[in-house]
Amino acid sequence: MEQKLLELQNEAISQIENAEDLKSLNDIRVAYLGKKGPITEVLRGMGKLSAEERPKMGALANDVRSAIQEKLDEKLNRLEQEAVLKQLESETIDVTLPGRPVKQGNHHPLTRIVEEIEDLFIGMGYQVAEGPEVEQDYYNFEALNLPKGHPARDMQDSFYITEDTLLRTHTSPVQARTMEKHQGKGPVKIICPGKVYRRDNDDATHSHQFMQIEGLVIDEKITMADLKGTLEVFAKKMFGSDREIRLRPSFFPFTEPSVEMDISCKICGGKGCSVCKGTGWIEILGAGMVHPNVLEMAGFDSKKYTGFAFGMGPERIAMLKYGVDDIRHFYTNDIRFLKQFAKYEA
Ligand code: PHE
């Protein structure tokens, strides 16, 4: 019986040594140490032994069991450690591999232009002001010296919502609102970007919805020279220091006198080409000295205060700056168009 037990021990131990995974190790444990295993079987025959031999055999059987158990534990430990090592190895990250590029979006060209213009004027001490797109007739027209029935209202075909509310046709109502808030006290120095709406048929240069940026300065002793100087700084920063500007007389009901500003054509250098329609000049914006009626209506004393205002279209500026030939490109969200502006991202 002793022989048999020792054989079992050797057999079990060599099987344990050869076991390659946790499952076969468990099978070996069940096979040798389980209730139906050979050791139990051997011990069943103990009844036949003499009283002296019985305790000896019992002790030996226990020794064999614990030897097998010890070997099992040891192997189990080793297999578990190996598994952890294997896992660690398979999960190691090769930090020297080049990264996969992450696709990044870029700003819409109009957003870029608006932010560029905002930054420029913020640098000159202006504040950014905003107002509602659904506007009252009063602020859109009346407070800007355009009473009901005024023929100049036809310059800006409007989307009316009710008799007294409309989609604003320009950003000038933000001027009127801001001036009103100041309650007759200067200075006012604002820039107002935003969407505006007009009943135009969409084509390469017209859109029923577009953007404007309006500027307004009110203080004592503001003159046309301040306006011209400001516009010149703006034009040179935006289009290049070699650009020239010129002011042409024009008409807006809310400014007097009114002007339109042109910049010299970059393409032909002033000689005349298709972009400047042979004139050497490109129209950029409308401007003028704030009409005394507009000042008075907003509560400013027009004898004490004067001011200038200007308004421009970021689309037009973006078209000139980036060579875009159709205003509708800005609104159709064709990713092939928009992606071309990624190169301007900081
Ligand atoms: N609001 C005018 C327009 O849309 C532009 C403008 C603004 C002209 C300010 C003069 C002064 O036509």
Residue nearest to atom 10 of ligand 1 (CA): 287
Ligand 1 atom with least separation from CA of 155: 12
Residue 256 assigned ligand-binding role? yes
Residue 164 CA to ligand 1 centre (angstroms)? 21
Give yes or no for residue 287 CB within 6 A of ligand 1. yes
Residue 254 CA to ligand 1 centre (angstroms)? 8
- pLDDT classification of 226: cutoffs 50, 70, 90: very high
DSSP label of 160:
B
Residue 123 CA to ligand 1 centre (angstroms)? 22
DSSP label of 49:
S
Which range, of 213-217, 300-304, 342-346, averages the lowest pLDDT?
342-346
Residue nearest to atom 4 of ligand 1 (CA): 170
Residue of 239, 289, 121 lying closest to 191 (CA atoms): 121
Give yes or no for residue 255 CB within 6 A of ligand 1. yes
| Spatial CB neighbours of 143, under 8 Å, sequence gap ≥ 6 | 173, 176, 180, 294, 297, 298
**pLDDT at 227 exceeding the cut of 90:** yes
Tokens for 35?
A: 């209730």
pLDDT at 335: 93
Residue 58 CA to ligand 1 centre (angstroms)? 109
Residue 59 CA to ligand 1 centre (angstroms)? 108
Tell me the C-alpha distance between 20 and 123, whole Å: 74
Ligand 1 atom with least separation from CA of 212: 4
**pLDDT at 1 exceeding the cut of 80:** no
The mean pLDDT value for 227-237 works out to 95
Give yes or no for residue 309 CB within 6 A of ligand 1. yes
Residue 215 CA to ligand 1 centre (angstroms)? 9
Ligand 1 atom with least separation from CA of 169: 4
The per-residue pLDDT for range 169-182, each reduced to its tens digit, is 999 999 999 999 99
N-term to C-term CA, the chain: 87
Tell me the C-alpha distance between 46 and 39, whole Å: 11
Give yes or no for residue 210 CB within 6 A of ligand 1. no
ω into 257 cis (within 30 of 0): yes
ω into 187 cis (within 30 of 0): yes
The per-residue pLDDT for range 121-156, each reduced to its tens digit, is 999 999 999 999 999 999 999 999 999 988 888 777
The mean pLDDT value for 214-238 works out to 96
Give yes or no for residue 291 CB within 6 A of ligand 1. no
Residue nearest to atom 2 of ligand 1 (CA): 311
Residue of 193, 187, 198 lying closest to 290 (CA atoms): 187
Amino acid (1-letter code) at residue 64: V
Tokens for 167?
A: 């989609």
Higher-confidence residue: 10 or 263?
263
pLDDT at 215: 97
Residue 258 CA to ligand 1 centre (angstroms)? 9
Q: What 3-state DSSP class applies to 273?
A: coil
How many Å separate Cα 91 from the centre of its chain? 34
pLDDT at 209: 95
**pLDDT at 20 exceeding the cut of 80:** yes
Residue 179 CA to ligand 1 centre (angstroms)? 16
Which range, of 33-47, 81-95, 104-118, averages the lowest pLDDT?
33-47
Ligand 1 atom with least separation from CA of 286: 8
Q: Set out the domains of the chain in order of their start, with CATH numbers.
A: 2-90 (no CATH), 109-344 (3.30.930.10)
Give yes or no for residue 289 CB within 6 A of ligand 1. no
Give yes or no for residue 196 CB within 6 A of ligand 1. no
Residue nearest to atom 3 of ligand 1 (CA): 170
Residue of 218, 232, 211 lying closest to 311 (CA atoms): 211
